[in-house]
Every structure is written in C-alpha cells, then in structure tokens.
Amino acid sequence: MIGAFRIPGAGRFKQAKTARFSFDGQSYTGIEGDTLASALLANGVHLVGRSFKYHRPRGILSAGAEEPNALVEIKRDAARKTPNVRATVQELYDGLDAQSQNRWPSLSFDVSAVNDFASPLFSAGFYYKTFMWPKAAWKSLYEPKIRAAAGLGVSPDQPDPDHYSSRYAHCEVLVLGGGAAGIAAALAAAETGVRVILADEQAEFGGSLRFESGAKIDGQDGFAWAQGAVAKLAAMDNVRVLSRTTAFGYYAQNFVGLVERVSDHLKTPGHDLARERLWQVRAKRVVLASGAIERHMVFADNDRPGVMLAGAARTYLNHYGVAVGKNVGVYTANDSAYAAAIDLKKAGINVAAIVDLRDNPTGPAIDEARALGIEVNFGRAVIRAGGKLRVSSMTVQPKNGGGERTIPVDAILMSAGWTPSVHLFSQSRGKVAFNDETKRFVPGTYAQDCVSVGACNGTDGLSATIDEAYAAGAKSAKDAGAKTAKGTKPKVDASENWSRGMLGAAPGAGPDTTVKAFVDFQNDVAAKDIRQAVHEGMRSIEHVKRFTTNGMATDQGKTSNMHGLAIAAETLGKPIPEVGLTTFRAPYTPVTFGAIVSHARGPLFDPTRKTAIHPWAEAQGAVFEDVGQWKRAWYFPKAGEDMHAAVDRECVAVRKTAGLFDASTLGKIEVVGPDAAKFMELLYTNPWEKLEPGRCRYGIMLREDGFIYDDGVVGRLAPDRFHVTTTTGGAPRVMNHMEDYLQTEFPHLNVWLTSITEQWAVIAVQGPKSRDIIAPLVEGIDMSDEALPHMSVREGKICGVPTRLFRMSFTGERGFEVNVPADYGQAVWEALWAQGQKHGAAAYGTEAMHVLRAEKGYIIVGQDTDGTVTPNDAGLDWAVGKKKADFVGIRGLTRPDLVAKGRKQLVGLKTKDPKVVLEEGAQIVEDPRQAIPMKMIGHVTSSYWSENCGRSIAVALVAGGRDRMGDTLFVPMPNGAIEVEVASMVFFDETGGRLNG
C-alpha cells in the first residue's frame, strides 16, 4: 500500500519502487521519486508542523522551495540531524526518518498552542514593546526565555560527519531555473558552443511543466519534452546540467553561489560522496529563468492543514499521482486554479465548489469547469476555513456581504495569482518596476550582465516565454563571444494561459483585529498585524517588515511579500509603487554551514606550518605552541618535568654549556641589487652604507608615524646583497611593507626582494660551548674570534651542505645561527645535537628563548612594543642614524607627542619579593592606596621566573620610566598590591662580556 490518496494511473512514477519512511515515529510507505510532502499527502497526512509564534497546526502549502510551513527535521543518525528541511523539497528514500518541529509534547497536542488563544498579547511588535523594563531583567530573564522559545528546529549537537565540497566554475552563459524558459535559453546558448551551466533546484527539470497538463512542445507532452531537452544538453561537452541545485546568492560581476544537494536524497550516500557541493560560478552572462510563485488567498484561518496552493495540488496530482483530498474546494481570483479543479475532477476527485472572487470572468477554463459539472460561484469570497488539525469546511459569502454558506471540504485549493520570482534579479542590484496593469513587480533596470525570461520577467504564456527565452539564450551567448548559432527553436503546440489575480487581503480577512488571515505563514504575520503596524506609525515598508517580521527569516517573502505590501499600501492610502518593495536578501533558501565552509575544516581550517626540524622536536616529546600559523617547540620536558622545571633546566644549560634552538620560523628576506644598501638606509633607522660585507647589524624598522614596526639582525653578504631577518609573526607584513616602498616610493632603486624564510632552516647554537659544538662540522670558515667576531656572517659548508653561518646572539651568550637549506635542516640539527651531547647541551624551546632574552633586556616587537612605542621609548635610540637625511619614520619621530616628556618607556622591574612573578599585562600605579579608578602609569609587558638570576624578572612600559630608576611602584592585584622596584632591563651579565666569552 503506497497511500490511500495515490490515484492509480496518475503521476509519473508508475514503475517506481516503494520506499518506507517514518514521520514522528509512525511508519508509512511512499515511492521513489516522491518528496516527503507528496508521500505524506499520499498517506492522507496534512498536519506536519506547528507555526513559529502561535504554534498553530500547519500543513503543506506548496510543492516547492517556497514552502513556509512544512519544515521538518530529517535524521540519519545521532550526528546527522538536519532541522528546517522543507518536506516539499526533501526527496524520499527508503528508511527516511522525519520529525515534526516546534511542538511539545506532540504534533496534535502542543502545549504552547496556548499562544494562539493568548494571541492578543502577541501582537505585532510584541517583543519590542514588552521586554523593555526593567533593564536588568533582559539578560537574566527575558533573553533566555525568548531564546528558548524562539527559533525553528533544533541544531544538531555533534560534529557533522559529512563532508562538503566546493568548486569554482566559469562559463559564458549561466541559466538559473530549469523550467520551459530556462531550458529554451540553455538550448539556444549551448548550440553556439559556448560553455553553459543550467541549474534547477528540483530533482527533475521542467518547472511548471510538472503540473501543466495542457502544455505540448515539439509534439510532446511538456514535461516529456523538458526531459528530452535536458538529456540532450547534458550530453553536450560544453554544458553542465545541475539538478537539485539552488542559486542562493547573486553577487558582483555575475558571481553566483549555487548549492548542489548531492546525497541527501540517497539511502546510502557512500563515504566519498559529498553531502553538498558549493559552486561558485563566474558567468559572462546570466539568464534568470526563476519562474513565478503562486500566492495564497488571505482569509480567516487560511493556514489550516489542507488549505494549499492550487498549483501545488496540481503538481501532487499530475506529477506524483496524489490527491490532496477527496472533496476539495477551490478559492481563486484568477484562472489558474480552474485548471487544478479540472485536473482533479477528471481524476475522479469531487470538487465541491469553485469560489471566484471576480465578478464575471469568462474563458475556456471556466467553460470547461462548468462542462464537467463543477459548481462555480462568482463574486464570492471564502471568509473562513473550518476545522483545526485539518480543514473541514469553507464558509462562503458574497464579497459585498450577505448570507453565509458553509460547504464541507477536506482541502481548499487557492490562488490569488502568480508573483514573478525576482529574488535573484533583486540580489544582483537590479531595480524592479511595478506594472500597474498586471499588478506585478518585474525586472526594470539591470545592474549586471543578465537578463530575465519567462514568468520571472512577467511574460505570460508558454509560446511567448519560449520565444523570449530562446532569443535571450542566443543573445547572451553571442554577447559572451559565441560566433555561430545553428539550433532550432522549440515549437509550442499547446499551452495554458492565465494571468492577473489579486493582491492583499480578501474580504475574508475582515477588518476585525481578532481574525487570523495569514499573510506570512512562516512568521505568523496576519493581515491585521500589517494594518496595526501602519496604525502605530510605520510608514516605510522596511519598517513594516521589521515591526511585523513579514517576509523575514528563511522565507524571504516568497509567498507573503506582495500581499503584505498591498495591505500596507491600502492602509496607508498610497499606490503600491510609492510604498516600495523590501529588499530580497541572499540566501534565496537556507544554506548549510557545511556548504559554506566546505573544505575549510579540520586540517584545512587554516594552514598549519611546521619547520624542517619539527619531526625531531616531536620525537623528543616537545610541547608546541602556536605562533601565527606556525607550530613552534615551546619546551622539551624530560620525564617527570613540568613546564617550569623544563624551562629552568633549558635556561641554565644555555648559560652553563650550550643550547640548540630551532629558529627556522624567523622571517628572512634577501635584498639584492646595486642599490641594496640605499634601500636598507630608507627602510631601517640604522645606517647601512658602511656596514662591511661579512658583518651584521641589529636593525629597527619604523612605520611612517615613527613607531617600531619590526626588528631583526641583518647580515651583509656582499656589497649588493643583504640577508635580512624579521620577527616570525612579522614576516609577511614586513615583506609587504618593503615591497610597497620599493615599488611605489623608491622605484628608481635597482634592488629586489625575495622571501627566503623557507629556503633556510635555522639552528641557533648558543652558549659558552657553542663554538666547540659547531666547529668540527664546518668547512671553509675560520671560526676564531678574530676571523668571526660577534655580529658577523660567513658562507661556507657544514656537514657538507651550504651554510650561511651567523655569529649572533639572542641570549647574551656566545652564539651562532646556522642557516642550511631546509631539506637538510633536520639532518644538520641531528649532527649538531650529537656534537652537543658531548658537551652537555640541551635543546630549548620558545619559552626558554623568551626568558633568556629578557634576562638580557632584548625586546620582542609585538610583546614589549604595541605599535605606540618609539625607538627612544624602547631604549634603542642608539640604533637610529642621527646623520641620516631620510628613512621611513624620520618625520614621525619628531611629532610633538613623540618627543614630549613623560612618555612610557621600557624599564626593568624587580619585585620586592624575588619569588613573586608578575602577571604580564598587569597595570602599574604609584600609590596603591589611591581611590579607584587609580591612575595607571604603565603595564608589565614581559615577566618570567629567571633561574639564572635566582629571582623573577619583568619588563614594563612605565611613564617616564628611565627617570624612575630605583623608585618603588606597585602592581595592584586582586590579593593586594605587589611592590616593585624600577631597574635596568639588563638583569644578567650587565657588561655583556659573555658574548665573547
């Protein structure tokens, strides 16, 4: 049994396999090809959800993506739970498990439905008005309650196990919408040979041909023609056909975002298949063929399950073979609903009556309905739907008042007309224009290279649509560069024609403010709410929208926008175009975070950069820290050691014997050319012209405002070649800064910059034994102090591989930095490590590196400086060339504020109790007894326990710091103020003798 409402002989899935599924725990059977909605309707199930605000029972309104009511949760397993899936879009597969939403404890008995009876409390703007006072209650009471009650569906609480893929694609012509118009446009464009992408959100192409039984093209039934045409397109090399693919956003320069639902319709998706695929398409021309969306009639209780759009009922009948009822009523203001009545009647369904709001319409549809014996009433309105969990009757009254008549029905099919789907056009920044005759907004002024065709362009009738679309497809291809066209336009043999309709509230929506005649089903906005918004002073449609929430959220006004606008216009007494249309925002339908994120998860969330020596450190059990994208060895704990013990041991080892440190992440830039020294003079504060090849200098780089931007040791390899180092974090921006000046301010200089950060692995060997460790492995470099003094650089070999060997120190000890080509980094490290073991050397990490440099008062840019520190503030005035005529920052340094007295200066701090280690970032005051807020005169920038000094050490920025040497200051903390003494930044080896020792 595949459903009591499945009509033998109807629909397009006659040979289909059955598929079992469950809804709210109840088992049903459908067929493959069904949507969840059609399968539920085949089983007579109309009640599928509860509304957002009033928790009113809701059914299935539509047969497509415009569905505002039938939002369900689809569950594959504990981690695969997708809320807010449109039952009208979700394809059925065997074993599908769906749950209704927004109800407790059950769909047919929902406690919160009391909101419906209390609805005078929940009028438009309710939240804005009610939860204003007292202010304190907002966070503690109102917000948590509202958040718990709000929202549709429940988010999954486990990581998403599916994967999502993404693709950038380019084409000449992108056709959005795969109905008759889109297919015709795609055919015309494809026949020219240019690249064409045709996308449609449905599983099958055809659009309204799914239900238009009267359409015949090229001698075939319309839907069959569509399938043949799409198959032909799919077979062409230059065409990509994407079904189940929604164009959700139209961005600048014909950049369109599409989401393809790859495996949500499959019983067993398989491991390698993405769940969804994000297409980011750049098209030279876009053809919009997005069709039209049928509007409902706005009358009292028009939301009862079983009240649905007439076109949807036709789709369920003609495509799925499902009757939406056994005794249906029809309420319409245009001809198209007649076709639904006729199709249903012919399929053996009783049509109780057609109620037509128009006074005396004429036409073949009306004649045919009458000929079939259907009761047709003109000039009448359905003023109320009866029933609660399912519609049971419709109450009819002449539209100008008079006697009521209640007709029993189990479904009401309604149509107020069709709204051109201008969402994507509007997103493209095109401006819509109101056609007063047809009462439609249609594309007016285009902002991009696109064209609208068919129903979304307000074009009525299949022949006119195909003519327009085919011509537009050919022209788009031509405009995009196509040379020849050799196709033939599809010929329309028969079609259905209808247009017009009505906008706004029908008589059944009454002036009574208690009547719930819904305009926006998803946001529970009724006609009375729009009127109330106007009465309360909202004049702009944008304000009405926000006050009532009409057309907001995922629905984006697909069915509601025009009705809401018409009611607002009527209440304001203004013509519709003067009130204007609200903005349609992307996404057209909700897009999963998975699709947006696509590959950027887990290891691909962001690059993780590792040095060549990383595997060694990992094998040694190093603990790593993140420095930008880099993983750096933080410390190397031995068995039983905590961080504190490991860092103490590493620091002591460096000063006692030696330490090895992976400095590969330091930024490195090779500056080459005859003007290299001139360029260095301009980019750094220091003088460079006289630096001898083979020597190094500590350089400071400023921004034009005079503040420190970066620092590093620079070695001159040759008159025309410098090896510049930067901070690890600063490498990319320093390179950009240097390129900027070179290309745009100093383009006359013959010099080039090349990043060599990753060319060289860098092994720092520091400590009294450093030379003893390195020397046996080095060839071609004289390692004596005379030949290789502190701050010099030589090229030669180590372990038989090329090296740039720097004699330099960031520890205050005799030290070297061994640069070797990166692929040799680990092997050279291992060789140095083996040598080091003979001398008792240790490997040390970034924490020990920080402590050791702080013991010597060496600053770290970005830690001890914060973008407001000058060289003078940092005690580095000696590094600023006083005789230089120009360098970046020279003028900034003389700004009044930068030379004023009392600037914050870097100084050392010693806690009175040497065991107390200050918190980095802690504030400093002169007098801890002053009233709060205290006057803060600085803050701690670096603070460590120094095992070598046997006490804590700290660096701080203190106002007028260098004039306070020996002064006592205080660092207020929650447990009391800590007394500190201002001291020199050099805590260890103040004379610097160990550099050569």
Q: Indicate whether 150 belongs to the interface with another protein (CB under 8 A).
A: no
Q: Indicate whether 707 belongs to the interface with another protein (CB under 8 A).
A: no
Exactly one of 445, 484, 975, 991 binds another protein (CB under 8 A); that residue is 445
Distance (Å) of CA 33 to CA 9, 211, 321, 641? 15, 15, 11, 64
Q: Per CB under 8 A, which of residues 268..327 are in contact with another protein?
A: 272, 274, 277, 280, 282
Exactly one of 144, 402, 444, 902 binds another protein (CB under 8 A); that residue is 444
Which CB sits closer to another protein, 224 or 597?
597
* CA angle (231, 233, 236) in 5-degree steps: 115
State the minimum distance, in angstroms, from the CB of residue 470 to another protein.
16
DSSP state of 6: B
Exactly one of 755, 868, 872, 923 binds another protein (CB under 8 A); that residue is 755
Q: Indicate whether 718 belongs to the interface with another protein (CB under 8 A).
A: yes
State the minimum distance, in angstroms, from the CB of residue 77 to another protein.
21
SS3 sequence of 624-642: EEEECCEEEEEECCCCCCC
What single-letter amino acid sits at 308? Answer: M
Q: Per CB under 8 A, which of residues 663..692 are in contact with another protein?
A: 670, 672-674
> Residue 159, class by beta-carbon neighbours within 10 Å (0-12 exposed, 13-18 middle, 19+ buried)?
exposed
Exactly one of 796, 914, 928, 972 binds another protein (CB under 8 A); that residue is 796
Q: Indicate whether 981 belongs to the interface with another protein (CB under 8 A).
A: no
Q: Indicate whether 265 belongs to the interface with another protein (CB under 8 A).
A: no
**What letters, b where the CB count within 10 A reaches 16 and e where it falls short, cover 585-623?**
ebbbbbbbebbbebeeeeeeeeeebbbbbbebbeeeebe
Stretch of 300-308, 570-578, 714-722, 861-869 contacting another protein, by CB under 8 A: 714-722
> Residue 221, class by beta-carbon neighbours within 10 Å (0-12 exposed, 13-18 middle, 19+ buried)?
middle
DSSP state of 345: H
Exactly one of 241, 283, 349, 751 binds another protein (CB under 8 A); that residue is 751
Stretch of 112-120, 490-498, 654-662, 826-834 contacting another protein, by CB under 8 A: 826-834
Q: Is the peptide bond before 420 cis (omega within 30 degrees of 0)?
A: no
State the minimum distance, in angstroms, from the CB of residue 463 to another protein.
18
Q: How many CB atoms lie within 10 A of CB 575?
A: 10
Q: What is the signed CA dihedral for 911, 912, 915, 918, rounded to 10 degrees?
A: -30
Query: What is the three-class DSSP state of 282?
Result: strand
Exactly one of 759, 863, 868, 923 binds another protein (CB under 8 A); that residue is 759
CB contact at 8 A, 255 and 169: no
Q: Indicate whether 213 belongs to the interface with another protein (CB under 8 A).
A: no
Q: Indicate whether 136 belongs to the interface with another protein (CB under 8 A).
A: no
**CB neighbour list of residue 60: distance below 8 Å, 6 or more residues apart:** 37, 40, 41, 46, 48, 67, 69, 70, 87, 88, 305, 308, 312
Which CB sits closer to another protein, 154 or 899?
899
Q: Indicate whether 821 belongs to the interface with another protein (CB under 8 A).
A: yes
DSSP state of 691: P
Exactly one of 315, 318, 448, 559 binds another protein (CB under 8 A); that residue is 448
378 strand-pairing partners: 356
Stretch of 545-553, 776-784, 850-858, 958-966 contacting another protein, by CB under 8 A: 776-784
Exactly one of 122, 138, 142, 255 binds another protein (CB under 8 A); that residue is 255
Q: Indicate whether 235 belongs to the interface with another protein (CB under 8 A).
A: no
Q: Indicate whether 618 belongs to the interface with another protein (CB under 8 A).
A: no
Which CB sits closer to another protein, 4 or 899?
899
d(CA 739, CA 752): 9
Which CB sits closer to another protein, 486 or 748?
748
Q: Indicate whether 704 belongs to the interface with another protein (CB under 8 A).
A: yes
Exactly one of 141, 604, 787, 965 binds another protein (CB under 8 A); that residue is 604
Stretch of 74-82, 200-208, 350-358, 597-605 contacting another protein, by CB under 8 A: 597-605
Which CB sits closer to another protein, 536 or 705?
705
Helix axes 336-346, 310-318, angle to 10 degrees: 40
DSSP state of 64: S
Please tell me the count of residues contacting another protein according to CB under 8 A.
98
Q: Indicate whether 830 belongs to the interface with another protein (CB under 8 A).
A: yes
Strand residue runs (E) in 852-983: 904-911, 923-925, 936-946, 951-959, 968-973, 976-983
**What letters, b where the CB count within 10 A reaches 16 and e where it falls short, cover 740-753?**
ebbeeebeebebeb
Which CB sits closer to another protein, 2 or 288?
288
Q: Indicate whether 611 belongs to the interface with another protein (CB under 8 A).
A: yes
Exactly one of 63, 660, 781, 922 binds another protein (CB under 8 A); that residue is 781
d(CA 543, CA 556): 15
Please name which of 716, 688, 727, 721 lies closest in space to residue 793, comparing C-alpha atoms: 716
d(CA 734, CA 711): 10
What mask, x for binding another protein by CB under 8 A, covers residues 367 to 406? ----------------------------------------
Q: Indicate whether 963 belongs to the interface with another protein (CB under 8 A).
A: no
> Residue 673, class by beta-carbon neighbours within 10 Å (0-12 exposed, 13-18 middle, 19+ buried)?
middle
Which CB sits closer to another protein, 553 or 756?
756
What mask, x for binding another protein by CB under 8 A, covers residues 79 to 118? ----------------------------------------
State the minimum distance, in angstroms, from the CB of residue 855 to another protein.
30
Q: Per CB under 8 A, which of residues 862..891 are in contact with another protein?
A: 885-886, 890-891
Q: Indicate whether 752 belongs to the interface with another protein (CB under 8 A).
A: yes
Question: What is the DSSP track for 718-738?
Answer: ETTEEEEEE-TTTHHHHHHHH
Q: Indicate whether 660 belongs to the interface with another protein (CB under 8 A).
A: no
Q: Per CB under 8 A, which of residues 332..351 are in contact with another protein?
A: none
State the minimum distance, in angstroms, from the CB of residue 12 to another protein.
26
Question: What is the DSSP track for 122-165?
Answer: G-TTHHHHHT-SSTHHIIIIIHHHHHHH-SSS---SS------E
Which CB sits closer to another protein, 151 or 881?
881
d(CA 432, CA 118): 39
> Residue 405, class by beta-carbon neighbours within 10 Å (0-12 exposed, 13-18 middle, 19+ buried)?
middle
Stretch of 359-367, 485-493, 754-762, 844-852 contacting another protein, by CB under 8 A: 754-762
Exactly one of 15, 253, 362, 975 binds another protein (CB under 8 A); that residue is 253
Which CB sits closer to another protein, 717 or 843?
717
Q: Indicate whether 138 belongs to the interface with another protein (CB under 8 A).
A: no
**CB neighbour list of residue 377: distance below 8 Å, 6 or more residues apart:** 353, 354, 355, 356, 396
Residue holding tokens 């396999």?
Answer: 17
Q: Indicate whether 599 belongs to the interface with another protein (CB under 8 A).
A: yes
What single-letter amino acid sits at 559? Answer: T
Q: Indicate whether 790 belongs to the interface with another protein (CB under 8 A).
A: no
Which CB sits closer to another protein, 175 or 918?
175
Q: Indicate whether 714 belongs to the interface with another protein (CB under 8 A).
A: no
Exactly one of 443, 587, 594, 637 binds another protein (CB under 8 A); that residue is 443
State the minimum distance, in angstroms, from the CB of residue 202 to another protein.
19
Distance (Å) of CA 92 to CA 18, 96, 274? 10, 7, 19
Which CB sits closer to another protein, 245 or 809?
245
Helix axes 846-855, 643-656, angle to 10 degrees: 60
Q: Indicate whether 826 belongs to the interface with another protein (CB under 8 A).
A: yes
Q: Per CB under 8 A, which of residues 168..197 are in contact with another protein?
A: 168-170, 195
